[in-house]
Amino acid sequence: MSGRKKRPHGPRQHRDEKYGVLKDSETFRIERLLPGPIERVWSYLTDPERRRKWFGDGPMELRAGGGVELQFEFSGLSSESTPADQENSCTVVGIVTRCEPPRRLSYTWGTEADASEVNFELEARGEQVLLVITHRRLKNREMAVKVASGWHAHLELLCDHLNDREPRLVLDDQNAA
């Protein structure tokens, strides 16, 4: 026996892993254990009004082949000020590649042939829900770093909303939960 502790099965919520894991050069994965029920978490992924609170609003056709238009207004995500050097808004369009309510949702991040793809998986764990986000087909390490920091920040906002806390921007480790 090597003397190393075995990693427990199930969601990893250790402080050094909350930022997600780069699975390979083009795949990023991040997990969060959230308060349920699963239908509530699903609604924060799919309902534009709820999604706007932590991510971006806009129309989403909940069927394979349906369109996605995510409209981001970063200054509206928290009562804290958005840094002056940060872009305040953007729009991302994509195509739904998989929709299995309330467990799986996937869509492209862009409409180009080589667009990246985001996959959301939900699994009920008692009164909680494990959310796993996998972002695939990232073009390079720089893009992977931006994606990782973005998902971490947006998931912290989602956690705040689901836990009925005042949402706060997570721009550095001092603001992180």
Q: Is the pLDDT of residue 81 over 90?
A: no
pLDDT over 60 (residue 36):
yes
φ and ψ of 112, to 5 deg: -70, 160
**Which one, of 77, 90, 98, lies nearest residue 158 by Cα?**
77
Q: How many whole angstroms separate alpha carbon 70 and alpha carbon 92?
A: 5
Q: Which CATH class is domain 33-73+88-162?
A: alpha beta
Please spell the DSSP secondary structure of 23-62, one letter per residue.
EETTEEEEEEEEES-HHHHHHHHH-HHHHHTTS-B--B--
pLDDT at 105: 98
Q: Across the chain, where does the E strand assignment appear?
A: 21-24, 27-35, 67-73, 89-100, 104-109, 116-125, 128-136
Helix residue spans in 53-140 (DSSP H): none
pLDDT of residue 19: 75
Contact between 106 and 118 under an 8 Å Cβ cutoff? The reply is: yes
Q: How much is the pLDDT for 91?
A: 94
> What would the pLDDT profile of 119-140 be if each residue is shown by its tens digit?
999 999 999 999 999 999 999 9
pLDDT confidence tier of residue 84, bands split at 50, 70 and 90: low
What is the model's pLDDT at position 6? 37
Give the mean pLDDT of 102-130.
Answer: 97
Residue scoring higher pLDDT (108 or 89): 108
